[in-house]
């Protein structure tokens, strides 16, 4: 869309102007400037007798000038016209200018004028060729191209002063038709690239002041070095200060006389250093290529760490610089690639990628937090996500004290044999949800589901000073929730959980492989908690000795006979929880700030 509307049109043109290199102008073209000194010597231009021009033509002809082109018009009759016509006829190499007035159209067709100012008939007949001297700037006021032909409203075709002079130079007759094929017109044994309006893009030299120059006054007086014009094209035009025929060009800070623009166009054709603008389709393809490259590379950089930001910015800057370099080399090869829109696209793509990645990652985080929220408290969910962001959740773990709860339905095998599978699943979901809710409300992590049993962990990965008490509170509350469910819904099959809790040192961290990991806790204290659960009758909560030591001030419990658990050589000291004291510090079950 931007390529069609072309916002920032002037900026885009200005960028292409910076591509011109410091190639010197051709020495074949010499400017004979009607400058301030010439006007001081011979007076106002409008008052000049045309015998002065006849004298200048004679002097240039004697010095061996190949072609003499006048970038001035002779539309009025004077007493010296016959003298000037005679000098032109004898030289037989003089090209005069015509000027179209009242522009009718310039869009995607031959530029058309309603009227033309032509030399008077006697001079027109004496001239070897007539060429239009119209200069048409771009929308920003800078001249970058010149129409090789223009038309009158009646259909008459006028070649440019450039073509008229060069055809005279090569003693070639101007064509009757100018056929435009594949963006070029074949003239002077050259395929000259032009646009739909027959405008050639001028390849300006870096400094127009380097072009060979002779004051027109010196030519009139004969006071000049003949070798300066021998076998050269001599263009005569106004260069005096304050003249209206001055224009902005890409390679000059201030406006330059129009005669230098015509010289630049002739230079471009003679040296065949043509410039071609590939057009919007090529620009679109380039932009699609840049989109493809950035779409492949930028999302792999991430957005959250400074290294990722620098990496993404580095790729963007690299593409930016690379395209600039391609643009310079393409210009040297004669192709003016659009610079602004592809270069503008790159930071837009980078910022868009960052925004997309941020939004996407935030969405993923919300999903993960919502998912975790089914099994752990929001505080712990934030902690796990935060550790994942900082790269702390990696394979391996740390030794830390944890409290682990196992809850198991008693006689589950017999119960499941009495019910269809759908009813078993529905029953499990109902009861396990009650236990899960109690665990989450007391800031535990539901670490595993194993059919009819649950494993929950406290004090990992986030520190929880009262983790043992939180585990006991969750177990006690789970029994209460189960009892309330059974009272509120008589259709529920009455089941009982045996819940065992143990506190001890375990290895907490990510266990698994590089491609698939699980955050869990392992160690002898975990095995003891599982064995305690296996020994606990339905509807009761049994705890290990360390759990009791850390919670005895806040719970009611009775000591049980030490039991020899499976896999343990020595008896394990156990306690049965009978209640919670009213002085239980509920706030201590919350995790401390990390």
pLDDT of the residue at 589: 41
- Domain span including residue 46: 27-169+201-271
The better pLDDT of the pair 107, 270 is held by: 270
Q: Do residues 32 and 236 lie in contact, with contact meaning Cβ atoms separated by under 8 Å?
A: yes
Per-residue pLDDT tens digits for 30-86: 999 999 999 999 999 989 999 999 999 999 999 999 999 999 999 999 999 999 999
Residue 185 in any domain: the answer is no
Helices (DSSP H) in 489-565: which residue ranges?
524-535, 545-551
- Alpha carbon 106 to its chain centroid, in Å, reads 34
List the structure tokens of 50: 């045309």
Q: Which of 339-353, 424-438, 473-487 has the lowest mean pLDDT?
A: 339-353
- Boundary of a domain, candidates 343, 371, 399: 371
- Region 445-460: mean pLDDT is 89
- Give Cβ neighbours of residue 303 (< 8 Å, ≥ 6 apart): 309, 312, 353, 354, 357, 358, 361
pLDDT of the residue at 525: 94
Q: Global pTM?
A: 0.64
pLDDT at 593 over 60: no
Q: Average pLDDT over the chain, rounded to whole?
A: 87
pLDDT at 231 over 60: yes
Residue 183 in any domain: the answer is no
Domains in the chain: how many in total? 3
List the structure tokens of 313: 């910015």
pLDDT at 514 over 60: no
pLDDT of the residue at 48: 94
Domain match, 346 and 257 both: no
Residue 363 in any domain: the answer is yes
Domain match, 567 and 502 both: yes
Domain match, 436 and 308 both: no
Work out the pLDDT band at 490, boundaries 50, 70, 90: confident
Work out the pLDDT band at 594, boundaries 50, 70, 90: very low
pLDDT at 9 over 80: no
The share of the chain scoring above pLDDT 70, in percent, equals 87
- Boundary of a domain, candidates 371, 386, 419: 371
Give dist(CA 594, CA 592) in Å, integer. 6
Angle at the Cα of 69 from the Cα atoms of 66 and 72, rounded to 5 degrees:
165
Largest CA distance in the chain: 140
pLDDT at 395 over 60: no
Measured CA distances, 336 to 4, 41, 248, 273, 431 (Å): 18, 45, 19, 12, 74
Residue 512 is part of a domain; what is its CATH number?
3.30.70.1230
- Boundary of a domain, candidates 371, 386, 403: 371
Domain match, 381 and 345 both: no
Angle at the Cα of 45 from the Cα atoms of 43 and 49, rounded to 5 degrees:
80
pLDDT at 302 over 70: no
Domain match, 209 and 321 both: no
pLDDT of the residue at 583: 65
The better pLDDT of the pair 537, 4 is held by: 537
- Region 439-461: mean pLDDT is 90
Residue 20 in any domain: the answer is no
Per-residue pLDDT tens digits for 180-194: 998 899 999 999 999
């Amino acid at each position: 869309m931007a390529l069609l509307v072309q916002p920032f049109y002037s900026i885009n043109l200005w960028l292409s102007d910076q591509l011109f290199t410091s190639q010197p102008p051709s020495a074949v073209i010499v400017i004979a400037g009607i400058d301030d000194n010439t006007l001081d010597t011979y007076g106002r231009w409008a008052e000049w007798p045309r015998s002065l021009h006849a004298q200048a033509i004679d002097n240039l002809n004697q010095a061996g000038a190949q072609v003499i082109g006048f970038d001035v018009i002779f539309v009025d009759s004077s007493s010296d016209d016959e003298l000037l016509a005679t000098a032109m006829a004898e030289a037989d190499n003089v090209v005069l200018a015509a000027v179209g007035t009242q522009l009718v159209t310039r869009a995607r067709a031959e530029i058309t004028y309603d009227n033309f100012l032509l030399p008077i008939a006697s001079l027109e007949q004496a001239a070897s060729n007539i060429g239009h001297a119209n200069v048409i700037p771009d929308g920003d006021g800078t001249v970058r191209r010149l129409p090789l032909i223009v038309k009158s409203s009646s259909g008459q075709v006028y070649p440019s002063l450039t073509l008229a002079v060069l055809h005279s130079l090569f003693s070639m007759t101007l064509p009757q038709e100018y056929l435009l094929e594949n963006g070029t017109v074949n003239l002077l044994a050259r395929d000259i690239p032009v646009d739909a309006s027959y405008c050639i893009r001028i390849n300006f030299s870096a400094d127009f002041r380097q072009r060979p120059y002779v004051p027109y006054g010196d030519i009139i007086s004969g006071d000049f070095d003949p070798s300066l014009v021998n076998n050269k094209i001599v263009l005569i035009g106004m260069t005096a200060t304050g003249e209206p025929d001055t224009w902005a060009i890409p390679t000059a800070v201030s406006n330059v006389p129009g005669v230098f623009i015509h010289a630049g166009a002739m230079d471009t054709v003679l040296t065949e250093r043509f410039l071609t603008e590939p057009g919007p389709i090529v620009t679109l393809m380039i932009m699609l290529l840049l989109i493809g490259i950035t779409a492949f590379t930028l999302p792999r950089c991430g957005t959250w760490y400074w290294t990722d930001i620098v990496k993404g910015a580095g790729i963007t800057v690299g593409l930016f610089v690379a395209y600039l370099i391609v643009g310079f080399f393409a210009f040297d090869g004669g192709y003016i690639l659009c610079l602004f829109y592809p270069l503008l696209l790159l930071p837009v793509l980078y910022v868009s990628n960052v925004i997309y990645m941020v939004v996407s990652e935030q969405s993923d985080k919300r999903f993960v937090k919502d998912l975790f929220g089914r099994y752990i408290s929001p505080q712990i969910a934030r902690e796990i996500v935060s550790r994942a962001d900082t790269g702390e959740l990696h394979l391996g773990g740390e030794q830390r004290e944890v409290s682990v709860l196992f809850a198991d339905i008693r006689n589950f095998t017999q119960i499941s044999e009495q019910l269809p599978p759908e009813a078993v699943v529905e029953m499990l979901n109902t009861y396990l949800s009650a236990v899960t809710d109690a665990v989450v409300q007391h800031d535990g992590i539901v670490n595993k589901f194993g059919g009819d049993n649950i494993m929950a962990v406290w004090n990992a990965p986030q520190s929880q000073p009262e983790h043992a008490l939180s585990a006991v509170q969750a177990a006690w509350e789970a029994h209460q929730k189960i009892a309330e469910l059974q009272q509120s819904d008589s259709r529920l099959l009455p089941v009982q959980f045996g819940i065992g809790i143990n506190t001890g040192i375990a290895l907490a961290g990510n266990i698994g492989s590089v491609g698939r990991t699980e955050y869990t806790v392992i160690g002898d204290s975990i095995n003891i908690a599982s064995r305690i659960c296996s020994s606990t009758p339905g509807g009761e909560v049994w705890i290990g000795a360390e759990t009791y030591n850390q919670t005895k001030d806040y719970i009611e419990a009775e000591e049980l006979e030490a039991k020899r658990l499976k896999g343990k050589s020595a008896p394990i000291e156990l306690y049965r929880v009978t209640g919670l004291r009213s002085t239980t510090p509920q706030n201590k079950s919350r995790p401390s700030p990390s």
